[in-house]
């Protein structure tokens, strides 16, 4: 039997990089995809195959899938990890930026899934792993567009799970909590660009400070925690449909489930230091 093949997007750093390494250790032939292949050199040195791919470019995605199937003849795991956080007041964020957030976090993931499904259906096997966030179950102020993408990907994953089951294809959702990556700093920068001036400036200052503080806290889990969860999900005989893991994920999701909206509003507002 040839080695199983995995494709991991957003593999140049953080969760994607750790996941590519984990799947390689599990014996998969792993393709690590990113827009810039120069950032994939460390993965290449480990034996992971670098792949230039932009999840907002259909030709780029098609070429990547064609390369993988030509070289290995199969795709067993797709990890849709590429994404970023675009924060800012809903009123302030330009719609072009909002659309791009959805293009990367939602449409890129689903289009790539469309491209791998024919191969998985022909094999009668495969697993699609969609990395959402605890932010796909909870919400924070000034994060509406980001949370919207993650809520959307959660719903699409549920529908896909029902549709793909008949073909032997599984769908797993990974919901990271606080992870030690560049994400918080990038989200804070986006927030300040959109809302540091004007009506929402006091809120923006508080939330940006919270994002940067959380990004630098030692409480955050390492990316390997998410990589381990993905590794277990794709190798299990019958994986759970969802894996909430990483700092704060399970308790915050549980709290949202049991608390009334206004009570949860108050908890989150205090947590991020929102001005009264």
Answer yes or no: are the C-beta atoms of 6 and 79 closer than 8 Å: yes
Answer yes or no: are the C-beta atoms of 91 and 200 closer than 8 Å: yes
Question: Of these residues, 28, 87, 146, 200, which one is catalytic?
Answer: 146
Provide the 3-class DSSP secondary structure of residue 89.
Answer: coil
The full DSSP string for 160-225 is HHHHHGGGTEEEEEEEE-BBSSSHHHHHHHHHHHHHSSSTTHHHHHHHHHHHHHHHH-TTSBPHHH
Token pair 């704060």: residue? 248
- How many other CB atoms are there within 10 angstroms of residue 256's CB atom? 16
Q: In the beta sheet, which residues pair with residue 179?
A: 221
The CA distance from 117 to 125, in Å, is: 10
Active site residue 28: no
Q: In the beta sheet, which residues pair with residue 79?
A: 8, 129
The CA distance from 85 to 81, in Å, is: 13
User: Using only C-alpha atoms, what is the Rg of the chain?
Assistant: 19
The CA distance from 181 to 238, in Å, is: 30
Query: In the chain, how many H helices and how many E strands?
Result: 11, 7
The full DSSP string for 234-272 is HHSSS--SEEEESBTHHHHHHHHHHS-HHHHHHHHHHHT
The CA distance from 190 to 194, in Å, is: 6
- Annotated catalytic residues are 146
């Amino acid at each position: 039997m040839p080695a199983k093949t995995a494709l991991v997007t957003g593999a140049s750093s953080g969760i994607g990089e750790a996941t590519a390494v984990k799947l390689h250790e599990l014996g998969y032939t792993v393709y690590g995809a990113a827009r810039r292949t120069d950032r994939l050199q460390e993965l290449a040195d480990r034996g992971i195959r670098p792949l230039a791919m932009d999840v907002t470019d259909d030709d780029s995605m098609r070429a990547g899938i064609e390369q993988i199937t030509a070289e290995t003849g199969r795709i067993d795991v797709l990890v849709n990890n590429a994404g970023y956080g675009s924060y800012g007041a809903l009123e302030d964020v330009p719609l072009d930026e909002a659309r791009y957030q959805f293009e990367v976090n939602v449409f890129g993931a689903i289009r790539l899934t469309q491209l791998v499904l024919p191969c998985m259906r022909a094999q009668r096997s495969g697993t699609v792993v969609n990395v959402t966030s605890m932010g796909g179950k909870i919400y924070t102020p000034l994060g509406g567009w980001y949370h919207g993408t993650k809520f959307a990907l959660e719903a699409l994953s549920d529908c896909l799970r029902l549709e793909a089951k008949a073909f032997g294809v599984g769908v797993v959702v990974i919901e990271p909590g606080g992870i030690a990556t560049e994400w918080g700093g990038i989200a804070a920068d986006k927030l300040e660009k959109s809302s540091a001036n004007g009506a929402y400036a006091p809120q923006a200052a508080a939330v940006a400070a919270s994002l940067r503080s959380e990004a630098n806290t030692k409480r955050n889990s390492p990316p390997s925690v998410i990589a381990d969860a993905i590794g277990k999900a794709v190798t299990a005989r019958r994986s759970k449909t969802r894996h909430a893991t990483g700092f704060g994920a399970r308790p915050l999701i549980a709290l949202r489930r049991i608390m009334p909206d206004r009570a949860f509003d108050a908890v989150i507002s205090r947590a991020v230091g929102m001005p009264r």
